[in-house]
Amino acid sequence: MKVRVERGENNNSMPAIAPQAPPASITARYARTSAYDELISPDGSIAPHWQPILSGLEALTHEQRLERINRINTRVRETGIAHDLFADPSRNVQPWHLDLMPLVFTSATWAGIEKAVVQRARLLEAVLGDLYGPQRLMQRGLIPPQLVFSDPAFLRACHGIEPPGGRIQFIAVDLTRSNDGSWRVVDTHVETPAGIGYALANRTVLTHVSGDIFAASKAVRLAPYFQQMQDQLAQRINRPDPSIALLTPGPRHNDFFSHAYLARYLGFLLVEGDDLRVESGRVYLKTLDGLQPIDLVVRCVAGALSDALELDPSGFLGPVGLVQAVRQQPSLVLNALGTAIAENRGLGSMLPQLSNELLGEDLLVPDVTKRWLGDPAVRSSVIQNIERYFIRRAYEQTARPGRAAPGRDASQMTAAERAALVEDIEINGAALVAEEKTTLGTTPSYGPNGLEAKPFALRVFATAVSGGFVVMPGGLAMTVDAGASMALTAPDGASRDVWVISDHAQPAFKSLWRPAIEAAQIQRGPREMPSRAADNLFWLGRYIERADWTFRVLRNCLSRIEEDSGPRQNLQLARMALLTLLDRDNATPVAVPPDLDEPRVIAHLARMLMTSTDRVYGLPQTLSHIHRVASLTRDRLSLEAWRTLNSFYVGRRWQPDALPRSIGEELDLIDAGLGVVAAFNGLTHENMTRNFGWSFLDMGRRTSRALNLSQLLLSAFRLAPSTVVGPEDDTGRMLFVLELADSFITYRSRYRVNPTLALVLDLLIVDETNPRSLAFQLAALSNHIDTLPQTGKGRGRTEVQRTALAMLTDLRLADVLTLAEQGPDGQRPALVSLLSRQVERIPQLSDALTRRYFSVVEKEPRWVRARSRQES
Amino acid sequence: MGSGEVAAGVMRFEVSHRTTYSYRLPVAQSYHLVHLQPRAFARQAVVHHSLLIDPAPVISTSIVDYFGNAATLLRIEDEHSELVVHSRSTIDVAAPAAIDPAATTPWEDVTSRAHLPDGGLDAGVLQFACTSRLTPASRDVRAFARESFPARRPVLDGAMHMTRRMFETFKFDSTATDVSTPIARVLEIRRGVCQDFAHLAIAALRTLGVPARYVSGYLLTRPPPGQVKLKGADASHAWLSVWAPETGWVDFDPTNGIMPTMEHITVAYGRDYEDISPISGVLLGGGDQRMSIAVDVEPVG
């Protein structure tokens, strides 16, 4: 079964789990193939260590199991594992699926895996030490020089740099079972932490849903492993309160989820190359408060692309000059620059001999048969038997689980394709390997008929500790297509958690989420706010408030035309409010169909606002901005806040074809949206530390609210009453704006009289105690701005401060009686001019903030690599 | 040998290499990697070398790169619209030993004979038998190589044949290619500059497994008879070096169809231009740039 999960709100309609008569036992239809199977021993009996899990699942009804699968899917979506941040949200495929059934190992089996992975880590550390040092292995022919020198991952500029604690901090090994039950290595990852965030997220999701079974099975927990990893990194730096940055290629990279999740879990700063700067051999983070030194860079970017000056000139994923910084401070970057050469698949067949030479040990778990095609003799023998192999690149860029490139299979090719493949082998053999096809071991997957046997590969993670390596007691298993490749190629992202059953009871649960924040050892200082993060949080605040406002306008307008549920008054005002949003930012004015009556016009415009993708204030754009910016800042948001926001996006409810048809249903949806915004605002208000991050988020909110309110008031009161609603309906206008600004109850409790314009304007414009008033927003902005780092201390106010102060003062000096005064033509010139000034200056304030605080990201020219040539 | 006198059989040169970059927009900050100091080796001695940079860099660090070339890392913090890098060197060059290309190993056997004195594989040589970013392998490039390398031809004989063939059938044309022209295109149009010819020849040799490296340097040019040599009319030049077990590395200049003698001055070598480009830089800002180069190679003594 290919498990494809639809991104639908109605989880029960998933095609993968079709409603069928549940089998008597979940193992009833489990069929073992000729391959080694984890669940059923060759004699047909069920391996005893699976029993607690099987019993746990069989104790549930079929419906309860489906319910758990639905909860897993929901969590997977809400955690964001599945998202490709920039993918089209209307596409239905979720590229990640977590099986209800974990893969389970006895501690004895696991001990064997651990030994093999640790041995491999030690071996590759020794190989790297030689390749970046004396290079004796090449001289002795144990590693062909052409293999090393054909691989762009060998970084010549890093030769001779000796990190004292070794080059490998993070290693991951992909394993499969042979038919006889022995393990084989498919791929080794020593470039980056290789998707460990996915394993961690899978565990978090599965124990959330199946925590009872997890506890009953006495499976080993992961937190102590990450604690060891944290301790080791802190020890490597050997100074109090170190700053550790996790360097990611950014949100467009397909492993970004893993980077952000890991950074958040371990309490590291999540940074991109542009956030860092090298000066005098040290790496600094560009923050709001100037340059802050970074003690250790956890590298999640390709080494070759980490320094455009000395490495690949097209690589801007790290700060310019990083290699020189590493020369002066060799353990600055982990894994060390250049480790990817040890991933070269061509090394596979050489490792047994290297293990004997370098460690004096037999290699415990060798690779699947991989033959390096740089060797002419190997080349011709492979070409003669080409159907037996997959032809693969010797080096691969991605470490995201499931994304390994499929091998080329001559048995599936036309004669012409095969000839091209042979020619490619003959010309580019040094960059290729032939991998012998073999069967893969199987493990149970939970499907519609109970358990089914699926071929799998297992990724195991290890990290360096002083004196060696420790293996994470768990991992990531994926269903792989044995017909395409041996590696973790799983386009459907069918994954499962890996449980190691302990012989003894497990100590009480201890998650790092809280200790990471409490422990003084590794902590993010309040001032370390990268400019990029400040920028993103500012915009998150703006978009959240924009969504809130849009929802309020929609609710107000639609409730006026709902059948029999309110007075059908002031429909022209509703139309005006909707058009104000639709026509924002110089959009082409909406053409209102002339033949509709007023309620239908409102319904039409409201639906347009809810579905239009080309209007700046259309909900689809606002919601996708929220999702994108929240994803970029998720290392700074609490998990709850992130999940709350994400639930917005992952449901398909906001897609045009999924919108409800009745106004009542639309209103329900809008109320749900308002609930999400309120929950997010509450969570950030309660849980976010009052540091610069909070300031920028709140400034974004305040800016947006000030803009929306002043624009509404301006639209409502700009025209003479007679042209819009008739002179008797000034009251209607006042009620309308009071309601939209959520201030109606305040007004009634305070004045207990029918709205009087001067009093309404006082409440909405100048009253600094009303959190919905214009003056309140400006006062809050001004307060935040005064606490921001100011570089020109003692030189008077900055441009940002001056703009905010001018706007606030303008409001404070306003006299509400004058504002309410009507001229002979029915206009209110004082009010219009005050509001126009505000509407004009808010974008100026936002621009000034951008110039001052975000400019290192936005405004600076980009780094470019200059090129010339030799011409004579 | 003191710096005042020049030994017999040796030519002394003074080289001035001045590069001026003009940027359309100001450069806020820049990092540079410079390969302008001539390399010292058996038949070449560097008597004097100086590097002048304007605006002055805040940091200038000398390093030795992976290939043993002297290089300089610079960081400039002053905002500037023009950058001048002026390298001045005095170099003594001795003639290479005479070799007999016909007496070298057949090209098919070269790789298997790249050994160190202790019998180990010579990784320092073999690394140059591998493709690099600017010298990719292809069927066409290999076919091009085979025209000069029939079975069992001595390797340097083949290299000389290819050098002559390129000189005769390729046209020097600095407008036909630019810095981003791939060798496949150079092969197709049979035009280009020294850098293009060197890259193509290197790529061709590497498709046969023959170690070849890119050499950056200077060439003494002579004015037409009866004319005065113009100031700054020389240029930085590029050629290649091919390895044979009998001879070690031997230079070939396909742009001029010759084996260099005493009038080629070596600055650096690497896999291709990218490893040893005279000045590479990463700039913050700058926009479009114009570069002007003035090179003078003067024999002295």
Closest CA to B264 of B194, B202, B217, B296: B217
Whether CATH 2.60.40.10 fits B101-261: no
pLDDT number for residue A597: 82
pLDDT number for residue A865: 64
Instruction: Provide the β-strand partners of residue B172.
Output: B192
Tell which A residues from 563 to 602 touch B, by Cβ distance under 8 Å: none
d(CA A170, CA B280): 33
In CATH, what is the architecture of B11-94+278-300? Sandwich (2.60)
The reply to whether residue B138 touches residue A427, judged by beta carbons under 8 angstroms, is: yes
Suggest the residue from B121, B132, B255 to mutate for an interface test with chain A (most A CBs closer than 10 A).
Answer: B121
The amino acid occupying position A738 is L
Cβ-Cβ contacts under 8 Å between A and B: the total is 138
pLDDT number for residue A148: 97
Show the tokens assigned to B204: 């061709």
CA dihedral A485, A487, A492, A494 (to 10 degrees): 130
**Helix boundaries (H) for A217-338:** 223-237, 256-266, 322-328
The reply to whether residue B237 touches residue A156, judged by beta carbons under 8 angstroms, is: no
pLDDT number for residue A313: 87
Nearest CA in chain B to A423: B139
pTM of this prediction? Answer: 0.81
Question: Please, how many CA atoms are within 13 Å of residue A319, restricted to the half-sphere of its CB?
Answer: 25
Instruction: Provide the β-strand partners of residue B52.
Output: B86
pLDDT number for residue B25: 84
d(CA B183, CA A160): 32
Given B59, B273, B286, which is nearest A280 (Cβ)?
B59
Instruction: Provide the β-strand partners of residue B265.
Output: B218
> Residues of B with CB below 8 A from A139's CB?
116, 120-123
* Low-confidence residues of chain A: pLDDT under 50: 1-19, 85-93, 513-527, 722, 724-728, 792, 856-861
pLDDT number for residue A657: 66
Closest CA to A446 of A75, A6, A17: A17
Per-residue pLDDT tens digits for A672-720 = 889 889 999 888 888 777 778 888 999 999 999 999 999 999 988 876 5
Nearest CA in chain B to A861: B285
The reply to whether residue A324 touches residue B291, judged by beta carbons under 8 angstroms, is: no
Given A280, A423, A860, which is nearest B139 (Cβ)?
A423
The reply to whether residue B120 touches residue A308, judged by beta carbons under 8 angstroms, is: no
Banded model confidence at residue B3, pLDDT cuts 50, 70, 90: low
The reply to whether residue B179 touches residue A139, judged by beta carbons under 8 angstroms, is: no
Distances (CA, A) of B257 to A440, A872, B163: 58, 14, 5
Whose structure tokens read 């999400």?
A676
pLDDT number for residue A461: 97
Please report the DSSP string for B143-195 in residue order.
HHHHTT--TT-BHHHHHHHHHHHHHHHSEE-TTT--TT--HHHHHHHTEE-HH
The amino acid occupying position A183 is W
Q: B255 vs chain A: nearest CA distance in angstroms?
A: 8
Looking at every residue in chain B, the average pLDDT score rounds to 92
> Residues of A with CB below 8 A from B131's CB?
150, 428, 430
> Residues of A with CB below 8 A from B280's CB?
309, 313, 865-867
Domains B11-94+278-300 and B101-261 share a fold: no
Distances (CA, A) of A54 to A209, A366, A473, A559: 15, 32, 21, 52
**Helix boundaries (H) for chain B:** 123-126, 139-146, 155-169, 183-189, 194-207, 273-276
Nearest CA in chain A to B19: A868
The reply to whether residue A313 touches residue B274, judged by beta carbons under 8 angstroms, is: yes
Domain coordinates in residue numbering, chain B: 11-94+278-300, 101-261
Distances (CA, A) of A386 to A186, A195, A372, A390, A416: 19, 32, 14, 8, 14
Instruction: Using the Cα atoms of residue A13, residue A17, residue A23 and residue A27 in order, give the sign of their dihedral.
Output: negative
Residues in chain A: 872
Q: What are phi and psi of B179, to 5 degrees?
A: -60, -25
At residue A726, the 3 state secondary structure works out as: coil
At residue A178, the 3 state secondary structure works out as: coil
Percent of chain B with pLDDT over 70: 98
> Residues of A with CB below 8 A from B123's CB?
135, 138-139, 145, 148-149
Q: A163 vs chain B: nearest CA distance in angstroms?
A: 18
Whether residue B194 is predicted with pLDDT greater than 50 in this model: the reply is yes
**Helix boundaries (H) for A797-865:** 799-812, 816-820, 829-849, 855-858
Nearest CA in chain A to B207: A427
pLDDT number for residue B48: 96
Distances (CA, A) of B24 to A865, B76, B82: 15, 18, 9
The amino acid occupying position B267 is V
Q: List all residues 6 or more positions away from A394 whose beta carbon is below 8 Å from its beta carbon.
A: A147, A150, A151, A344, A345, A346, A372, A373, A430, A431, A432, A433
pLDDT number for residue A23: 56
**Helix boundaries (H) for A132-222:** 136-139, 145-149, 196-216
- ∠ Cα A121 A122 A124 (to 5°): 65
CA dihedral A833, A834, A840, A845 (to 10 degrees): 160
pLDDT number for residue B69: 97
- ∠ Cα B291 B292 B297 (to 5°): 135
Q: What are phi and psi of A257, to 5 degrees?
A: -55, -45
Whether residue B243 is predicted with pLDDT greater than 90 in this model: the reply is yes
pLDDT number for residue A153: 95
At residue B96, the 3 state secondary structure works out as: coil
d(CA A150, CA B135): 12
